[in-house]
Amino acid sequence: MLRLLLRSQWVKRLSRGVPVARLLLVAEVAVLAQRHLSKLDRAERRRLLTLLVRARGRPRSLTTAERREFGYLVARLEPRLLLGAAVRRVSPVPVPKRLLYGRRGSAARATLSRRN
């Protein structure tokens, strides 16, 4: 597929100014992020965005119930697994699982073992 892309004229013009490999890596990470965002349904994504806007970067501006709800929605996104998968894709050397997925017995590690 990469050879086919590199033969087209618009990719050649684009590749003069932008490294194609970086664009492909960014696209892969974007696909991974989209997969994690799809774990929330439409109403939950909208509610997460509403809470983010209301917090304005300061968690104390949310009520206790809203902070709890925000934590629940973020936990459903599994951010540690997203980071681990992105680093595993981008890194040219193997990264220890302990750094990516936490200590043994963690929720992220349990989720990873269920998927594989």
Q: Which residue has the tokens 């697994």?
A: 81
pLDDT for residue 97: 74
Considering the chain, what percentage of its residues have pLDDT values greater than 90? Answer: 22
| Helix, strand, coil shares, percent, the chain, to 5 | 80, 0, 20
pTM of the model: 0.65
Choose between 10 and 77: higher pLDDT. 77
Q: How far apart are CA 28 and CA 9, in angstroms?
A: 23
The rounded mean pLDDT for the chain is 80
Average pLDDT rounded to a whole number, residues 17-33: 81
Nearest Cα to 80, choosing from 53, 59, 110?
A: 110
Torsion region of 48: left, alpha or beta (phi above 0 gives left; psi -120 to 50 gives alpha): alpha
Nearest Cα to 65, choosing from 75, 51, 46, 79?
A: 51
Residues in CB range of 64: below 8 A, 6 or more apart: none
Average pLDDT rounded to a whole number, residues 70-96: 84
Instruction: Let me know: does 57 contact 107? Beta carbons within 8 Å.
Output: no
Confidence of residue 51 (pLDDT cuts 50, 70, 90): very high
Say yes or no to pLDDT of 63 above 90: yes
Nearest Cα to 34, choosing from 110, 86, 107?
A: 86
